[in-house]
A and B are shown apart, each in its own frame.
Chain A
C-alpha cells in the first residue's frame, strides 16, 4: 500500500542527547521513520519515552541543552538537522511543518485578541495585507467551527472555552497550509466529549487540505480513532511499527502487548488489571540489549545482552524483538488481547456495555 506513495519526510538514525549538569542523557536512541504524503501516523508511548523530543527535531524546537548527535531528517531535499538559526527555519517551521500542543491555554497569548494571533501568522508567512489577513483569519475560524467568527475575532482567549481555544490553535497551525501537522497530545487537556469533536475536525480538515498528520499520544483509544500507521515508542526508540490494524490485532513486541493489556476497557471487574512491573530505563546509562527486557516477563537471555534488530512481520509491519527470531521460542500474546476485535465488538454491539444507539 505504501510503496507507491511519496515520502514527505524521512528521518534516519536520529539520536538526540541532552546535557544535564555534567551528564549526557540520550533521549532518542536511533529512530528511522518515513512519513508518507497524506497519511496519519501516530506515535504512542508513555511519558519519558521521547515521543515529543523526537518530533521536536522536525521543527528545530529542542530545548537549548539538547542536540541532535547523529542522523538526518530529510524534508524537501534539505537536512533539517543541519539548520541552526531561526532564520534557517523560516519557511519551514510554522509554514510547512506546524505543531498543535497539548494545552491550548498555554499556547495562546492570554493578553492578545484571538484575531490578532491568527492574522499575525498569516501576515508573517504569506506577506499579505492586514485586511486580507483578517479576511482569511475569519474564513479559517469558521472552517474550524467557530460560530459568529467575525464577532468573536476581537475576543480574548479567556472568553473561549477549552475546546474552542484548541480550535483556534488548530486554525493558527493551518493558516499557512502546512504539509505536515504535528499534533502533540492535542486532546489530553480537553474533556472527553470535546475530544471526539476535535479529532473529527482534524480528520475533516486533513481530508479537505491533504496534509500529513503526525499524532503524539499515550492514549491507545485516540490512536485507534485517528491513525493509519502506528509507531510504539519505548526508551527513546520505536520498537514496533505497522498499520493500525496490525498493531492492535497482531502486535508482536512484548511492550505493545503490555500496553494493550493494561487498558481499563479490557478489565474484568473483580479481577486485577494487567500492569507492567518496574520503571522505564534511565536514559543516563548506556542501555544494553532490549530496553524493555528488565520489565518483560517474556524476556529471553539474549534480550539482556544484545539489542534486537527490526524483524519483518509483513511489508508494513516491523518489530524490534528477539521473539521474532526463528530460533526464539514461540510465544502467544497475552490472553486479554487475543481476539481483541471480537471482544470489543461484543462491548459495542447491541447489548454490550459500550453500545450506543
Chain B
C-alpha cells in the first residue's frame, strides 16, 4: 500500500481555497490551500473539529460549494468551476453522498421505494418499471433490508435502518466515489458498528472509494486507509492510518489523539489531555506548504518546522525500534 505511485488517482484536490461572502468586503476563507489526492479503492478520511471546514471540502467535491482558487479533478477531468452540463450530470451520478442524520436526509412523505429510486428516476437509468423495482429490491438487499420494506415510510424504521436506506439511495446509482459526511455520528453505539461494517462490505463488493468525513479518531482508525487532519481550514497532516497513529507529527494531531476517550477507567482517569497550543509552531511568518516528511506522510509546515518534524519522526522511529 505504501507504493502510491502506481495507484490510480480518482479525485485530486489541487491547492483549493473555498471562501464565503460575509456581507462585508472581507471574505471568510473556510478552506485554505487544500492539496491531496484520493486513490481508487481506498477510504480517505478527513478528520477535524466542527468549523474546521471538513464538510465544506466534501461539498466542494460534490460541486455544491464553488472553489475560489485551485481545482478539483475527478478521474483526471476538472470538475470544479464551470463545466458542461453533460459533465455535471456525470459527476452527480458518479459521486454520491451519505449524510449524517438519516432522519433529516430522507423525505418523510415519500415511501422508501421513491426515496431509493429518486436518482434512477432523475437519470432514467432503468428500462421499464419492472427493471426499476428490481433495482430498488437489489439495492435494499445489498444494505441488509428486505424488498417488502419499500412500501414503508422513513418514520417506520429505526435509526440504523434509516441510515441503511440513505446508503441504498447512494448505492443504486452505482457510483464510483462516495462522500460520507459523519455517517455514524447521529447513531447509537450498537448501530454504529453495523453501519461501519456495511460500508466496509460494500466497498469491497463494489470497488468503491470513500471520502469519510468524521470527528472521531477512534472510528476513523478502524475504517480509513489514509487520514487527513484538518484544523481551521488548513489540512495539517496527511498519512496512512497506522502511520498517523504511530508517528503523529503535527502538534494538533497529537492533541486530537489525546482526546480520544479510552474505555478503561484506570487509564482514562490518569490520562493527560494535551491542549493544542498554536504558539508551539514556527512564528517567523515563513509560508507553509505540504511537505513530505517520510514517504506518504505529509505535514503542513514552514522550512524550520519541517526540520523539527523530521527530527521528531526519527526520534519516534528510534523509540519504536528500541521497543
Give the B-binding residues of A (Cβ under 8 A): 46-47, 162, 191-193, 195-197, 200, 218-225, 227, 244-245, 248, 258-260, 262-267, 269, 272-276, 279, 340-341, 344-345, 347-348, 350-351, 353-354, 356-357
Among A195, A267, A350, max chain B CB count under 10 A is at: A267
The 3 A-B residue pairs whose C-beta atoms are closest, nearest first, are A221-B261, A275-B193, A353-B245
| Chain B, Cβ-Cβ closest to A245 | B265
Known A-B contacts A262-B189, A356-B257; A191 and B263 likewise in contact (beta carbons under 8 Å):
no
| Chain A, Cβ-Cβ closest to B216 | A192
Q: Is the interface of A mostly helix, strand, loop or mixed?
A: helix
Is the C-beta of B133 less than 8 angstroms from some C-beta in chain A?
A: no
Return B49 CB to nearest CB of chain A, in Å.
4
Please give, as numbers and ranges, the residues of chain A lying within 8 Å of B192 by CB-CB distance: 262, 264
Among B190, B200, B245, max chain A CB count under 10 A is at: B190
Number of A-B pairs, beta carbon distance below 8 Å: 147
B323 touches A265 (CB 8 A): no
Please give, as numbers and ranges, the residues of chain A lying within 8 Å of B215 by CB-CB distance: 191-192
Give the size range of B's interface with the partner: 35 or more
Is the C-beta of B202 less than 8 angstroms from some C-beta in chain A?
A: no
Q: In the complex, given contacts A192-B49, A224-B269, what are 19 additional A-B residue pairs having Cβ atoms less than 8 angstroms apart?
A: A46-B189, A47-B159, A192-B217, A193-B49, A195-B259, A196-B259, A197-B273, A197-B275, A218-B188, A223-B265, A225-B269, A259-B189, A262-B192, A269-B222, A279-B158, A347-B262, A351-B246, A351-B323, A356-B257
Please give, as numbers and ranges, the residues of chain A lying within 8 Å of B258 by CB-CB distance: 196, 356
| Chain B, Cβ-Cβ closest to A190 | B50
Return A27 CB to nearest CB of chain B, in Å.
17
Please give, as numbers and ranges, the residues of chain A lying within 8 Å of B274 by CB-CB distance: 356
Please give, as numbers and ranges, the residues of chain A lying within 8 Å of B221 by CB-CB distance: 264, 267, 269, 353
Please give, as numbers and ranges, the residues of chain A lying within 8 Å of B104 by CB-CB distance: none
Please give, as numbers and ranges, the residues of chain A lying within 8 Å of B264 by CB-CB distance: 224, 248, 340-341, 344-345
Is the C-beta of B267 less than 8 angstroms from some C-beta in chain A?
A: yes
A264 touches B262 (CB 8 A): no
Please give, as numbers and ranges, the residues of chain B lying within 8 Å of A47 by CB-CB distance: 159, 188
Please give, as numbers and ranges, the residues of chain A lying within 8 Å of B216 by CB-CB distance: 192, 264
B222 touches A193 (CB 8 A): no
Return A109 CB to nearest CB of chain B, in Å.
23
Please give, as numbers and ranges, the residues of chain B lying within 8 Å of A264 by CB-CB distance: 192-193, 196, 216, 218-219, 221-222
B265 touches A224 (CB 8 A): yes
A267 to B274, CA, bound (A): 24
Pick from A195, A225, A275: contact of B194, CB under 8 Å: A275
